[in-house]
Structure 1
Amino acid sequence: MTVAPPSQSQRTGSDAWSDTKLLYALEEVVERELNRHLKAAKEWMPHEYVPWSDGRNFDGIMGGEAWSPEQSKVSDIGRIALVVNLLTEDNLPSYHHEIATLFGRDGAWGTWVHRWTAEEGRHAIAMRDYLLTTRAVDPVELERFRMQHMSEGFESDNAHSMLHTVAYVAFQELATRVSHRNTGHESGDPACDRMLARIATDENLHMVFYRNLLGAALELAPNQAMGAVRDVVVGFRMPGHGMPGFERAAARIAIGGIYNLRIHHDDVLLPVLRHLKVLEVSGLGPDGLKAQEELGFFMGELDAQACKFDERRAALLARRAARA
């Protein structure tokens, strides 16, 4: 990374970086990552992933057929996950406000914020068109959930600093990619799987941008960045946690193998931490060392919790299979 090396006081944590100073210092990295992203990103059209010929009128002013569960091609767990995933994507205006306020709308930062928002906007378009055209979910319930969720807005758990936000999105984008990909596999509908695979590709590119930016921050302000990573990993929640019925839906999604503690540990947290060698960073000051140690301890505890969850899940699935 071509960033200025931290001074001795910055490495020991005695001279903290302000958000403004960090934004300025990381501008070159943002510009380089933006250019890399634009070269890697491929144009795609949401309408091409929707089987429009499956569509027909719903009941209401068009006098069509009311929705019923048996019309859906996707599995029960897939249907739950699709609603959660779409409602998460729907809150894009709130997410844009959060990162635009922190990162600004000028220069490379601003260009990235708007590009990211534009790419994310395609996800909700494709997913909603697919869900309604194929009658995968109850359209009335979906719209009522959307209104409730968006009316409540979104307030980040990670508003401590811009470093907390960068750390959060590095993990969250990968979590979203994994959730979309696993939902597609679970859905049972090739068209759904294909659409979510395309969306997951976008999410992966976004993760790489933020992961590389976090890597630069760890070089520039290692103690502050380590503290931010520790805070985010320990307190991580998906951005859709405030949606109606989220806890119940998350429990069913976990049992269904779409997103749970094991997946969160193995497929989301570990890949980012290992790629950036977070637990191997040396030369930290007291605060950075403490954060690094607490992060390592937490990951061990989370792995143990995931093992217990795996055992309970296996027992539950075995009982269900026996009853079937």
Structure 2
Amino acid sequence: MTIAPSLHSSSAAWTDARLLYALEEVVETELNRHLKVAKEWMPHEYVPWSDGRNFDGIMGGDAWEPEQSKVSEIGRIALVVNLLTEDNLPSYHHEIASLFGRDGAWGTWVHRWTAEEGRHGIVMRDYLLTSRAVDPVELERFRMEHMSAGFESDNRHSMLHSVAYVAFQELATRVSHRNTGHLSGDPVCDRMLARIATDENLHMVFYRNLLAAALELAPDESLRAIADVVTGFRMPGHGMPGFERSAARMAIGGVYNLRIHHDDVLQPVLRHLKVLEITGLGPEGLKAQEELGQFMGGLDSQATKFDERREAFLARRQARSEK
């Protein structure tokens, strides 16, 4: 990528407005690449409509019971978390549209991303209700509570912090969907979540490439943003009802935990960006680079301890089940 010489200036000049302008061409390039590789797909084709029947209530159908679900217990937990996360799309759209704007290539991407993400919520809800995978009453009550609270970014409302966050978050979502599908016990669910995960991976590539361009343009500021995001990372659904308990069960169940977060989310993005190999940094960039290295080493150690505790717990549970 070539940066216009006039845009190379002191770090104090890198306001969000200047960065948005400087990266507009990169956004346009990435948008065009995305549109070429993204494949159209129809949510209704991934839903087993013939399995559907009326619920109790005004339609006089059958009430939901856990044994009606084809998915595993961990699958149900993860599916609810994943769908409630997708449900807050209006808040996410507001966040990125406020930061990136609604004009030019930035605006086109914001609306395209929102449209693609909306498809994920549609197909997941249709699948869950048609297949009776989860309690529909509980799901709707959780949705109302979660969306009524809305979503506010942890990332200081800085453009660079937001780009860094979504680069990691999109990959985290892809991994969570993919693992949920594998552990669901239902091939239909697995196929649906694999389709969603493909979209999430394309979104990650868009933001990762944009972050790479930002690192070339403003390395110190970009590294500071990356370090802040990595060391304080939380999934966007952290405010949903019962999230901590669900997250703990997903961690033990192998959907998403410290080892997965370190190995399959943070490391691939950081390695691709070569953040620990960047030279010519100023004091702030060097400090952020050092923080990243120390944090990743500590996280790896924490993940190892978690793995050991998880294996011991699963062994005890298996032994109890065999008695």
> Normalized against structure 2, the TM-score is what?
0.98
Partner of 1:31: 28
1:66 to 47, 63, 67: 63
Query: Which stretches in structure 2 are left out of the alignment for 5+ residues?
Result: none
Say if 2:312 is the partner of 1:292: no
Say if 2:14 is the partner of 1:2: no
CA distance in 1, matches of 2:157, 2:288: 15
Partner of 1:205: 202
Say if 2:50 is the partner of 1:53: yes
Cα separation, partners in 2 of 1:49 and 1:8, compared to 1, 3 Å: closer
SS of 1:314's equivalent? helix
Say if 2:80 is the partner of 1:83: yes
Partner of 1:278: 275
2:90 to 60, 74, 93: 93
CA distance in 2, matches of 1:2, 1:42: 29
Say if 2:146 is the partner of 1:185: no
Partner of 2:111: 114
Q: How far apart are residue 6 of structure 1 and its match?
A: 9.0
Verify the 8 A CA contact 1:57 1:64 in the aligned structure 2. Answer: yes
Task: For 1:201, give the aligned amino acid.
Answer: T
Q: How far apart are residue 136 of structure 1 and its match?
A: 0.1
Cα separation, partners in 2 of 1:6 and 1:209, compared to 1, 3 Å: farther
Task: For 1:229, give the aligned amino acid.
Answer: I
* Aligned counterparts, 1:156-305, within 5 A: 156-305=153-302
Cα separation, partners in 2 of 1:6 and 1:267, compared to 1, 3 Å: farther
Verify the 8 A CA contact 1:31 1:108 in the aligned structure 2. Answer: yes
Larger RCO: Structure 1 or Structure 2 (Cα < 8 Å, ≥ 6 residues apart)?
1
Q: How far apart are residue 2 of structure 1 and its match?
A: 2.8
CA distance in 2, matches of 1:34, 1:319: 50
CA distance in 2, matches of 1:125, 1:3: 40
Partner of 2:19: 22
Verify the 8 A CA contact 1:5 1:220 in the aligned structure 2. Answer: no
Task: For 1:194, give the aligned amino acid.
Answer: R
> Normalized against structure 1, the TM-score is what?
0.97
Verify the 8 A CA contact 1:172 1:238 in the aligned structure 2. Answer: yes
Q: How far apart are residue 8 of structure 1 and its match?
A: 7.6
CA distance in 1, matches of 2:54, 2:108: 40
Q: How far apart are residue 160 of structure 1 and its match?
A: 3.8
SS of 2:81's equivalent? helix
What is the CA deviation profile of residues 51-80 of structure 1, one whole-angstrom value per residue up to 9, with x for unaligned ones?
A: 000000000000000000000000000000
Query: Which stretches in structure 1 are left out of the alignment for 5+ residues?
Result: none
What is the CA deviation profile of residues 144-174 of structure 1, one whole-angstrom value per residue up to 9, with x for unaligned ones?
A: 0000000000000013410000000000000
User: Alpha carbon RMSD of aligned pairs, Å?
Assistant: 1.1
CA distance in 1, matches of 2:3, 2:213: 7
CA distance in 2, matches of 1:76, 1:5: 57
Q: How far apart are residue 84 of structure 1 and its match?
A: 0.1
